[in-house]
Amino acid sequence: MSIPVPTVHSLGDVYSSDALSAQKGRYDQIRTAFASAFDGAVPDFYARAPGRVNLIGEHVDYSGYGVLPMAIAQDIVVAVAIAKTPGTQCTIANTNPKHAKFSFDGANIVIDTKKHHWGNYAMAGYKGITEALGLTSPRSLYLMVDGVIPAGAGLSSSSALVCCIALAVARGHDKVLTKLEFAEICTKCERYIGTEGGGMDQSISFMANQGAAMNIEFGPLRAFPVKLPDGAAFVVADSSVVSEKQVTAATNFNLRVVECRLSALLLAKLGGVQNWQEARTILRAQNALNASFDAMLALVSKHFHPHDYSLTELSGLFGLPESEIVSSFMSASTVEARSFRLFQRVSHVLQEASRTAQFKTVCDTAPDATTALAKLGQLMNDSHTSCRDLYECSCEELDDLTSICRQQGALGSRLTGAGWGGCCVSLVPSDKVDAFVANVKRLYFERKGIANGLIFASPPGCGAAIVASD
Ligand code: NG1
Ligand code: MG
């Protein structure tokens, strides 16, 4: 039987029929896997949500500052069938045999964040969207997940899964929401897994525009298309070091979130803000102090020291008992933390936020291509240096890979996503991409004996969409 190419009932007019035709074989395979997992059933529709590469603005979203990612073509697709019989039981399978099929009660989802299971992301999306929609007795759904975004590579495979499931579940209940509403709901969903990210990944997955990077701002959430300069290609290369944010949250990602929060509160307090306890993000502290980036950096130099802060010292500075600092400012995964590197973290965030604004200005003002590429490249290189030295979220392999990329003609190269492994993104003149890719393969993947290393040039892709099977 031939299977028609699914037509698009998109959230916007975002998912082109060309993109779908190119993927017909994949959708056919998902349909076949669906039938074999669910007694011959046929999906009622598909949902898809893309991964992303962040061009600049790393580790600033949860401090309130704007980011500049673009969606990539790689995505998560979920095939969905609505059960004919009543009930709230959901069954979810994966085309990857590593991920076993399982069921859960959609009306009573309990996620054990200590057990790192792929299904946690799916259940988080399910739980968040049903709660947001007030669905106390959600429909029973059959779901088949197919992901082609490499996991732990900083390309946001986990958030794409959360977003895709939330979109699928909303559609499975005939609910229509705006992209912005989906992005906001899905940002909250992620908390059910225990990470405290700032919303970049969910926002770009829904709000991406084909052909443009997006400047995403928070509080309130907004997204502005940014036209990248002609002649610039962005090449993603995977260091092949898997970064498991879930597993290392207490010492890496979530600790950084706490260090940023403590920095914000301390800046506000030492800067004389009366209700300093409300300045829980660096942006809020900046607004309360009514200071420019330079003025903020001057305040940091004046008030902060570069060695680590202990809880005892913070207790003295805030005038609060240690136990209150822990209960008010830390999260479940970071209550054990006793040492905080504030000067470096806040310096990174302020400088990176300023670099992100400069990157956007260069794209918007569109100087001649040579000038534009050189400036953007420099900002990306500076971003990497700051991630490595001040935020300490790089690793040896990423430093090595970005320097190979620069030697091979990238005008800028930096880690992308949370770091501690995963991918880097390089700005390469379009006419040099082929040679660049070949050389990086040889000098990084081959030398390190990495088979099938991932490297690809990505044009800005489109956002999440419903794909109906007619
Ligand atoms: P990844 O690369 O998916 O771990 C994380 C956060 C982002 C952002 C970046 C760093 C989530 C879901 N994602 O991305 O919000 O903070 O790190 O810029 O927490
Ligand atoms: Mg992620």
Question: Of all protein residues, whose CA lies closest to atom 4 belonging to ligand 1?
Answer: 418
Record the tokens describing residue 52, joined without a space.
């992303």
pLDDT score at 243: 82
Domain total in the chain: 1
pLDDT top residue among 116 and 419: 419
- pLDDT for residue 114: 81
Q: Which of 383, 458, 456, 453 is nearest to 419 (CA)?
A: 383
Please check the confidence at residue 5 and state whether its pLDDT lies above 60: no
pLDDT in tens, 186-238: 999 988 987 778 999 999 999 999 999 999 999 999 999 999 999 999 999 99
Split at pLDDT 50, 70, 90, the class of 75 is very high
CA of 373 to the centre of ligand 2 (A): 28
- Give the model's pLDDT for residue 6: 45
Interval between CA 46 and ligand 2 midpoint (Å): 22
Mean per-residue pLDDT for 292-318?
97
Q: Which amino acid, residue 81?
A: A
CA dist., res. 76 & res. 118, Å (int): 13
Ligand 1: which of 156, 189, 386 to mutate, most ligand atoms within 8 Å of CB?
156
Per the domain annotation, does 413 fall within a domain?
no
> Mean pLDDT over residues 446-453, rounded?
95
Q: Which domain holds residue 200?
A: 7-226+460-468
- Ligand 1 pocket, mutate which of 60, 61, 191 (most atoms under 8 A from CB): 61
**Residue 325: both structure tokens together:** 């600092």
Q: Is residue 255 part of a domain?
A: no
Which position has the token pair 């899964």? 161
Domain CATH code at residue 54? 3.30.230.10
Is residue 173, in this structure, part of any structural domain at all? yes
pLDDT of the residue at 152: 83
pLDDT of residue 15: 56
Confidence check: pLDDT of 244 > 90: no
Residue 15 falls inside a structural domain: yes
In a domain, 232, yes or no: no
- Any idea which residues carry the catalytic annotation? 201
Q: How far is CA 338 from the centre of its chain?
A: 28
Residue 142 lies in a domain: yes
The pLDDT, as a whole number, for residue 134 is: 96
Query: What pLDDT score was predicted for residue 113?
Result: 83
Per DSSP (E only), the strands in 30-105 are: 45-56, 68-82, 89-94, 102-105
Mean pLDDT of the chain: 93
Kindly provide the ipTM of the predicted complex, given to two decimals. Answer: 0.96
Burial 110-129 (b: 16+ CB within 10 A, else e): ebebeeeebbbbbbbbbbbb
For atom 9 of ligand 1, the residue with the nearest CA is 418
pLDDT above 60 (res 281): yes
In the block, residue with structure tokens 């499931």: 165
Is 62 within the bounds of a domain? yes
240: in domain: no
What is the position in ligand 1's atom list of the atom closest to the CA of 198?
15
Q: What is the pLDDT of residues 348-366, one digit of tens each?
A: 999 999 999 999 999 999 8
Q: Cα of 417 to ligand 1 centre, how many Å?
A: 6
pLDDT at 428 over 60: yes
Ligand 1 lined by 138 (C-beta under 6 Å): no
